[in-house]
Amino acid sequence: MWKLLQESPTAYAIQFNKENGYEIFITDFIYLWHVYFTERTFLTQLKESNDGIEFENDSQLLQDGIKLLVQPENLKKVNVFEENEKRNLSITLVMSCGFPFKLKCRLSRVSDEGMFQKITQNLLKIINDLWTSQTILRNTLNKKDKELTAYKTKFGEIQHKHKKTEPFNDELHMNTHNMYETHFGESPIPHSILQKTIILPKQPIKTECSSESELQTIQIKQEIMTPTTEDQNHFAVNDSVKRETTKVDPPVNGRVCVKKKRKGLIF
């Protein structure tokens, strides 16, 4: 299920998949980035992200790492940095576990086919599901209207015990048409996505003419949308460096302890 990772200044959604290893997907609804970990490499990444802190229990560390990804609404800090003309995405996620617990990793942009399978195709399924739902509701209402009209014409008033159509079952209806909840839960579409404008490049199209030796290049005339100040900025939030000794709560059930005091830890 997709969950909103950050709404502004640029909206990002995150999906964590544990069915085949540890997969993280992040999208800005235009591009899609992905990174894959095995259990061992995921543990290594968590330890490297929290340099200076020694974890004695890998099982608890793994559990906290998964919690950080599946509950983005509980994150204390989210930093997202687009790199290499959006080919890569570097993220830092921070959750409070009695101390700033972090995950830092770098994702790579997936292919157009991957974007279709993970985003576009599911959106099309949702649209189709909503359309089917609307059709069923319209047919049901039209049928009721026809029955009511016929009954009033013959009897003049409605006897409830003679109703021919079953009452509308809202719970059954929503359980049947659940594609939106399955893929996006209760997350609304961010306003920043609805209002976002994109500059489309001019692309030449070559067309075949009646004469094989004659080819014409047709330039597409496109209406260039003026980007907002928000879109022109390259969004990156840099962590500030605190020149002080790291403070960590006393260990709870042997979960964590400070290995050494370090200056310049990034929070």
Q: Tell me what pLDDT residue 85 has.
A: 94
Backbone angles phi, psi at 206, to 5 degrees: -95, 130
pLDDT in tens, 192-221: 766 666 565 554 444 344 444 443 433 433
pLDDT in tens, 79-125: 999 999 999 999 999 999 889 999 999 999 999 888 888 888 888 88
pLDDT tier, 189 (very low <50, low <70, confident <90, very high otherwise): low
Q: Tell me what pLDDT residue 183 has.
A: 78
In Å, how far from its chain's centre is CA 181? 13
Share of the chain above pLDDT 70, in %: 67
What 3-state DSSP class applies to 226? coil
What whole-number distance in Å separates Cα of residue 126 and Cα of residue 182?
10
Considering the entire predicted model, what is its pTM? 0.63
Ramachandran sector of residue 13 (left: φ over 0; alpha: ψ -120 to 50; beta: rest): beta
Q: Tell me what pLDDT residue 121 has.
A: 87
What whole-number distance in Å separates Cα of residue 208 and Cα of residue 217?
10
pLDDT in tens, 221-255: 334 344 444 444 443 434 433 334 444 455 544 45
Mean pLDDT of 57-85: 94
Structure tokens belonging to residue 135: 């059709």
The helix (H) or strand (E) run that includes residue 39 is helix 39-49
pLDDT tier, 8 (very low <50, low <70, confident <90, very high otherwise): confident
